């Protein structure tokens, strides 16, 4: 069975600083994908970044990058130059290959301080 673990229920970061949100996963499937979603207080789920298990390079999307360490089964999200608008819940999720449903972690609440 697949499992996602996010060990940080809450994180604080100073505006303009970088922050790393931890995510570890457990799966026996050789092919899988990892996602990060952001959920602001308004409630919508916003896709941020994706990493495939066979991707050679770490994914990057603007200020978001994914520190993918396959041997350690970790897929940490790095947000550079934090902004006040980054304050939100962040969910790590994974799926097996194919059109399978996502398995989510419990989420990390990030608060950016001015």
The binding site for other proteins (CB under 8 A) comprises 33, 35, 37, 42-47, 50, 52, 91, 93, 95, 97-107
Nearest distance, CB of residue 11 and other proteins, angstroms:
18
Bridge-based pairing of strands 108-113 and 10-14 is parallel
Q: How far is the CB of 110 from other proteins (least distance, A)?
A: 17
Answer whether 59's CB lies under 8 Å from 44's CB.
no
Residue (18 or 54) nearer to other proteins, CB: 54
Q: Which is nearer to other proteins, 20 or 50 (CB)?
A: 50
Query: 47 Cβ partners below 8 Å, 6+ apart?
Result: 35, 37
Task: Tell me if 32 sits within 8 A of 53, measured CB to CB.
Answer: yes
Q: Write phi, then psi, for 99 (nearest 5 degrees).
A: -85, 60
Nearer to other proteins by Cβ, of 69 and 97: the residue is: 97
For the bound state, the minimum distance from the C-beta of residue 39 to other proteins, rounded and expressed in Å, comes to 9
């Amino acid at each position: 069975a697949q499992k996602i673990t996010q060990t940080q229920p809450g994180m604080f970061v100073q505006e303009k600083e970088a922050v790393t949100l931890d995510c570890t996963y457990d799966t026996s499937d050789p092919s899988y994908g990892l996602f990060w979603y952001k959920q602001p207080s308004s409630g919508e789920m916003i896709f941020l970044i994706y990493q495939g298990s066979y991707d050679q390079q770490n994914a990057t999307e603007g200020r978001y990058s994914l520190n993918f360490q396959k041997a350690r089964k970790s897929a940490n999200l790095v947000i550079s130059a934090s902004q006040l608008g980054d304050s939100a819940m962040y969910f790590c999720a994974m799926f097996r290959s194919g059109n399978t449903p996502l398995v989510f972690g419990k989420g990390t609440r990030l608060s950016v301080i001015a």
